[in-house]
């Protein structure tokens, strides 16, 4: 006897699964298109111009960061679309320096975005990566004394010790047949070794080796590149670096990374011998002192995170600024000659010590103008710094922005504003600092950020550059090997530059 099977109709869920299986190639693009259109048109930001791709997805900014030229992309965007450009469904880039001051001003409620949370270490954020404003304020308060100019001046001799080593290296190159010097690389090694001395009382050894030891600098650049890209889509970090499986891929493990290894060794040493037994002060010992004063508010983990983070935040940035300075000055003979003249005159009249001192260099107006102009035209941070509009929304320059909107600021864009910096903002011209309203221009310089997130390493970076650059230009003659070529660079978070190669020779003491 035949068994009759009752026909049970498929449920709606089964229908859906079958449809997905059979028509996924149509359904997925259609869903993505709908999502794109929803983001494009449902947002109150739909009235702002910008790249088409950016209006409905974050793909445009991921692509721009991946390509390594966020800064030039944004300059072009603003030239094309004006002062407010939509660069993602919920994100606007602003080109007005006045607006930037408002956004960065302390106490206005614009918090850092999730972009920063991607930068390591997630388990114990440092001052740069901490996005909880209240927690950030506490950490910064305890770390500010170790970074103060007074503390930095006490450590100036370690900078001089590293200067001596750099000069020894350059002296050898001057004696070589072709006088070849990769000035860009050596400034990079120098900036790292200075930070090693300042943070841990030890050079990392880049200068001595004369190459990128254990590819540590390259690794940092690659890591920052990852942070920059994934920072645009922060939730994706959970699929990659925050994925628990990540640590089982040996090639991706950073625990044996040169900089981290040294930081851990120094940390252990200090814990064993105690801070008071140490022969000299450094950033780590000063941060330990802050921890001892307030062990609950500034924990041991914070000491490590802040000292370790300093290397990441402070080396590429300072190196990049010194490279921009050298390249900009050396490619213009008139500027180069004028700068040497000022330095030589100060030297001849005994106003510049063997290792130039901060106060002496403040009295070199042309040098100061050259440095400011380098930081204006090629600020070391190439990606946008981003802030969230407070929940209640805000009004800036007469424009209302809804709460939760991400506002993006890029130093390369802001520093090309003609109303502040004059009609030729794309030209490297130190003279502008004597012609225009220099005080006003300074108010609108963002190379160190601003407000409550102003760069904590600004004093160290300025001290280092003010001591080192005049020394180099006093004692050595540099000739660019390819003066007609632009310096190659790409932005990870910082602007990583390549190709600053020169012929070097020793200058006579009389100039």
Binding-site ranges for ligand HEM (CB under 6 A): 127-128, 140, 309-310, 313-314, 317-318, 321, 380-381, 385, 447-449, 453, 455-457, 460-461
SS3 132: coil
* 74 or 338: CB nearest ligand HEM: 74
- Residue 455 counted as an annotated binding residue: yes
If the CB atoms of residues 136 and 338 are measured against ligand HEM, the closer one turns out to be 136
How many other CB atoms are there within 10 angstroms of residue 105's CB atom?
13
Q: Record the tokens describing residue 132, joined without a space.
A: 């909880």
Could you check whether the bond before residue 118 is cis, i.e. omega within 30 degrees of 0? no
Burial of residue 165, with CB atoms counted within 10 A of its CB: 0-12 exposed, 13-18 middle, 19 or more buried: middle
Beta-strand relationship, 502-506 and 476-480:
antiparallel
Strands, E assignment, 348-393? 385-388
Nearer to ligand HEM, 312 or 401 (CB): 312
- The sign of the torsion formed by the CA atoms of 215, 317, 88, 129 equals positive
Distance (Å, whole) CA 40 – CA 42: 6
Number of residue whose CB is nearest ligand HEM: 457
Closest distance between ligand HEM and the C-beta of residue 199, in Å?
A: 7
Shortest distance in whole angstroms from residue 492 CB to ligand HEM? 14
Min dist CB 156 to ligand HEM, Å, is 14
Query: Is the Cβ–Cβ distance between 186 and 495 less than 8 Å?
Result: no
Are residues 234 and 115 in contact, defined by beta-carbon separation less than 8 angstroms? yes
Nearest to 457 by CA among 203, 151, 222: 151
In the complex, the smallest distance separating the C-beta of residue 401 from ligand HEM, rounded to whole angstroms, is 18
What DSSP string describes 425-449? TTS--TTHHHHS-HHHHHHT--TT-
Per-residue DSSP letter, 480: E
Q: How far is the C-alpha of 137 from the C-alpha of 424, rounded, in Å?
A: 39
- The DSSP element (H or E) to which 370 belongs, if any, is helix 365-377
Q: CA angle 168-171-173, nearest 5°? A: 115
In the beta sheet, which residues pair with residue 479? Answer: 503
How far is residue 160's CA from residue 194's CA, in Å, rounded to a whole number? 9
Half-sphere exposure of 63 (CA within 13 A, CB side): 10
In 3D space, the residue among 332, 362, 317, 319 whose CA is nearest the CA of residue 430 turns out to be 332
Report the nearest approach of ligand HEM to the CB of residue 263 (Å): 13
Q: Which residues are annotated as a binding site for heme?
A: 455
Question: Binding site residues, as ranges?
Answer: 455
């Amino acid at each position: 006897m035949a068994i009759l099977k009752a026909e049970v109709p498929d449920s709606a869920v089964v229908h859906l699964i079958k449809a997905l299986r059979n028509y996924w190639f149509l359904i997925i693009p259609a869903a993505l298109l709908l999502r794109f259109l929803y983001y494009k048109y449902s947002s109150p930001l739909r009235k702002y111009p910008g790249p088409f791709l950016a209006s409905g997805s974050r793909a445009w900014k991921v692509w721009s960061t991946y390509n390594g030229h966020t800064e030039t992309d944004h300059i072009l965007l603003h030239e094309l679309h004006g002062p407010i450009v939509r660069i993602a469904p919920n994100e606007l880039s602003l080109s007005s320096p006045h607006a930037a001051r408002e956004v960065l001003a302390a106490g206005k409620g614009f918090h850092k975005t999730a972009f920063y949370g991607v930068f390591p270490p997630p388990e114990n954020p440092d001052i740069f990566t901490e996005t909880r404003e209240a927690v950030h304020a506490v950490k910064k308060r305890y770390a500010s004394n170790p970074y103060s100019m007074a503390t930095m001046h006490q450590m100036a001799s370690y900078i001089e010790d590293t200067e001596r080593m750099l000069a020894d290296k350059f002296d050898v190159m001057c004696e070589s047949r072709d006088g070849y010097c990769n000035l860009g690389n050596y400034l990079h090694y120098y900036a790292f070794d200075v930070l090693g001395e300042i943070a841990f009382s030890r050079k990392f050894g880049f200068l001595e080796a004369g190459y990128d030891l254990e590819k540590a600098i390259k690794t940092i650049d690659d890591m920052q590149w990852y942070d920059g890209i994934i920072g645009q889509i922060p939730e994706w970090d959970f699929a990659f670096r925050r994925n628990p499986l990540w640590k089982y891929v040996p090639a991706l493990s950073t625990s044996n990374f040169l900089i981290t290894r040294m930081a851990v060794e120094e940390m252990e040493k200090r814990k064993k011998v105690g801070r008071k037994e140490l022969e000299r002060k450094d950033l780590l010992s000063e941060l330990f002192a802050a921890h001892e004063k307030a062990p609950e508010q500034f924990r041991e983990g914070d000491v490590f995170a802040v000292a370790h983070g300093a290397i990441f935040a402070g080396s590429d940035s300072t190196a990049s600024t010194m490279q921009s300075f050298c390249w900009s000055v050396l490619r213009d003979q008139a500027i180069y000659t004028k700068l040497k003249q000022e330095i030589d005159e100060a030297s001849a009249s005994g106003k510049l010590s063997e290792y130039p001192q901060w106060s002496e260099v403040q009295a070199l107006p042309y040098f100061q103008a050259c440095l400011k102009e380098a930081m204006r035209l090629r600020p070391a941070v190439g990606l946008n710094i981003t802030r969230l509009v407070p929940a209640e929304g805000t009004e800036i320059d007469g424009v209302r922005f809804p709460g939760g909107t991400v506002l993006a600021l890029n130093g390369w864009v802001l520093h090309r504003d003609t109303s502040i910096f004059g009609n030729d903002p794309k030209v490297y011209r130190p003279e502008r600092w004597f012609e225009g309203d220099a005080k006003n221009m300074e108010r609108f310089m963002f190379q160190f950020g601003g407000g409550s997130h102003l760069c904590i390493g600004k004093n160290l970076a300025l001290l280092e550059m003010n001591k080192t650059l005049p020394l180099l230009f006093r004692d050595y003659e540099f000739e660019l090997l390819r003066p007609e070529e632009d310096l190659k660079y790409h932005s990870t978070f910082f602007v990583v530059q390549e190709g600053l190669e020169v012929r070097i020779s020793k200058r006579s003491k009389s100039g």
